[in-house]
Amino acid sequence: MRDDAQSFVFSEKAGGRRSRNPPQSGEKGTWANREFSSSNPVTCIATVIGEGGAGNAENAARDLAGIITGHRDSKSGSLWSFENKSLGGRWAQTTDGGLVRSAGVSSCGTFCFIGSSNGRMAMYNIQSGIKRRQFPEPVSAATAKRLKNMRELWGAQGRISDFCFSKDGRWVLGASADRVIRVWDLPTGHLIDGIRTKSDATAMAFSGTGEFLATAHVDSVGINLWTNRTLFRHVPTRHLDEKDIVDMTAPFASGEGGVGVIEAALNPQGDGEDDCTGTYTTVDQLSSNMLTMSLIPRARWQTLLNLDVIEQRNKPKEAPGTPEKAPFFLPPLGHTAERSRILRMSRDSGESTFTKLLHEAADGNNRDYTVILAHLKALSPSTADLEIRSLQVNELVPFVRATTQRLRSRRDYQLVESWVNVFLKCHPEGVMSEEDVRDELRKWMVEQKREAGRLAQLVGYCSGVAGFLSGR
C-alpha cells in the first residue's frame, strides 16, 4: 500500500446544519450530520458490495453514501460519501442506547445495519436516513446454546485469529496463530488448501465477486491479495495433509516478489492434480445384495415396449403412389435387388450374431448367458425387437433361462422386465404349446416376485424414514 495520486483521506466536513435529531420511522425530510469527533478511532466499517462498489457512478448520481463506520464510545454509525470524500450528512443511531459494535450494508446498497453492545440491531435507509426496521430480539447465550453443531473443522494448531466464508458459502477460510491460512470445504469437511506465511494473519476478507482474498498480517502495514485459482482452472477438492501445506512469501510494498493475477492463477507448480485425476472405472454392480438398474437410457427400453404404437403412429396417411418413370438414359433396377439390410444379413450369414451366441450359451457346460445379454443391451430398440420376434421354438427356453439368470444376479432389472414383456407379446403360441417354456417362465415368475417384493420393502422403508425425518 502506497500513498499516491489514487489515495485520499475522508473528511468529516459536510455542508448543512449540525444539530438535529434523526427522523423517526416514516418521517420525511433532509437532515445534516450531528456533532462528530474524528478523534474516536474506527472500530467497524462496511461498504456497498457489488460490481460498482462504494464508488459506483449510479450511487454517486443518487447522492448515496457508500461507506458506514462505527467508532469507539459512539452510539451511532456514520455514513460517508465515496464521491465527495466526506461525511455523507446522515448517521444511524442504536435503538437501545448501546454502543456501536458492528455495521453492515445490504447487498442492494439501499439499507445499512447497526448492531449495538446490548445485542439489538436496527436497519436504516441509506438515502433518506429513516429507520425502517428494528430487530428487538437480542443475541444471547441461550440462543447460541440452541444452535446445532453441523460441522467441526480441524487442523489449526493455534488460536483462530479470523475467518470468513466464500461468496457461494461453500468454503470457510481461517487464519490461525501457527501462521497458516487454511481453506475447508463445507460439504465434505475436508481441508482442501493451505498456505504458510512468514507472519500471523490477523484479518481476512473475500471480495464481493469471489476473485480475491485480502489478508492483513502482524508487523505489516500492507494488505496482501491472493488470487482465487478456481476461477481460471479446475482445483481438486481432495483432502490435504498438513505436510502438503506450502510456504508462501508475501510481496514487498514496491511490488517486488509479487506476480500477476493470470500468471499466479495458471501457475502449475504445487497443484498436485496428478494425485487425484486418475481414471475411475465404474463397476457394473457394487454388491451382489443390491438390485442394480441398467445404465441404458430410459428412452431406449421404453421405445422397445411401445414399438408397435410408434410404428402405427409413423405410418403414412396415404398409400405410396406409383413411382415416376425414370429417364431413358438411366437403366432400370433389377427386381431381385436386395434393398433391405436384413435380407443381406440373412444371405451372408444365415443366422444373426444373437442366435449364434444363444446357441453357444445353451450348449455350454456352465450355461453362462452374460455375453448374449450384453450383446442384446447394445442393440437398438428396433433391432432388439426383431431378434426377440425371430426366436425359433427351440430358442425360447434358452432365452427365458437367460433372463432368469439375470434376475438372480440382480442386474438390469428394468431392462429384463422389458425383454420378457416383448417376448410374451411376440410368442404367445409357443408359450401355450411348449411345456418346457412354461416351466422356465414359472421359475422366472418366482424370481421376479421375490425381487419385486424385496425392492418394494426397501423403497417403503426408505420412504418412511424420509417422511419421519421431514416431519410429514
Q: What is the pLDDT of residues 43-95, one digit of tens each?
A: 888 887 544 444 454 554 445 557 888 888 888 888 887 666 667 666 778 88
Asked if residue 371 lies in contact with residue 342, where contact means CB atoms within 8 angstroms, the answer is no
pLDDT (0 to 100) of residue 253: 55
Domain pair 1-139 / 160-272, same fold: yes
CA-to-CA dists, residue 332 to 322, 324, 328, 337, angstroms: 15, 12, 9, 11
Residue % of the chain over a pLDDT of 90 = 3
pLDDT (0 to 100) of residue 15: 42
List residues bridging with 180 in a β-sheet. 196
pLDDT (0 to 100) of residue 354: 85
Describe the strand order of the beta sheet including 131-135 as a list of residue ranges. 100-105, 111-116, 121-125, 131-135
pLDDT (0 to 100) of residue 439: 92
Task: Say yes or no to pLDDT of 356 above 60.
Answer: yes
Residues 444-471: what's their mean pLDDT?
A: 88
Residue-wise pLDDT for 100-124, tens only, equals: 888 888 877 788 888 888 888 888 8
Place of cell 429384463: 416
| CATH domain 160-272 topology | Methylamine Dehydrogenase; Chain H (2.130.10)
Asked if residue 437 lies in contact with residue 430, where contact means CB atoms within 8 angstroms, the answer is yes
pLDDT (0 to 100) of residue 446: 92
Enter the C-alpha cell of residue 364: 455350454
pLDDT (0 to 100) of residue 281: 65
Asked if residue 377 lies in contact with residue 412, where contact means CB atoms within 8 angstroms, the answer is yes
Report helix angle 381-389 to 413-426, nearest 10: 50
User: How many CA atoms are closer than 13 Å to the CA of 58, on its beta-carbon side?
Assistant: 8
Bridge-based pairing state of the strands 121-125 and 111-116: antiparallel
pLDDT-derived band of residue 217, with 50, 70 and 90 as boundaries? confident
pLDDT (0 to 100) of residue 16: 39
Quote the DSSP letter at residue 212: E
Report d(CA 1, CA 73) in Å as an integer.
29
pLDDT-derived band of residue 145, with 50, 70 and 90 as boundaries? low
Q: Is 290 exposed, middle or buried (0-12, 13-18, 19+ CB in 10 A)?
A: exposed
Report d(CA 268, CA 277) in Å as an integer.
14
Residue-wise pLDDT for 147-157, tens only, equals: 677 777 777 78
Q: Is 345 exposed, middle or buried (0-12, 13-18, 19+ CB in 10 A)?
A: middle
283-287, 410-414, 423-427: least confident range = 283-287
* pTM (whole model) above 0.85: no
Asked if residue 77 lies in contact with residue 91, where contact means CB atoms within 8 angstroms, the answer is yes
pLDDT (0 to 100) of residue 442: 92
Please say whether the dihedral angle defined by the alpha carbons of residues 384, 388, 391 and 397, taken in this order, is positive or negative.
positive
Residue-wise pLDDT for 22-49, tens only, equals: 444 444 333 333 444 445 788 888 887 5
Place of cell 484479518: 203
For 1-139, CATH gives: 2.130.10.10
34-48, 161-175, 359-373: least confident range = 34-48
User: Residue type for 412, please?
Assistant: D
Highest-confidence segment of 64-78, 254-268, 338-352, 437-451: 437-451
Domain ranges (residues) in the chain: 1-139, 160-272, 298-306+342-459
Of the candidates 137, 70, 134, 66, which has an alpha carbon nearest to the alpha carbon of residue 105?
66
Residues 243-267: what's their mean pLDDT?
A: 60
pLDDT (0 to 100) of residue 156: 79
**C-alpha of 296 from chain center:** 25
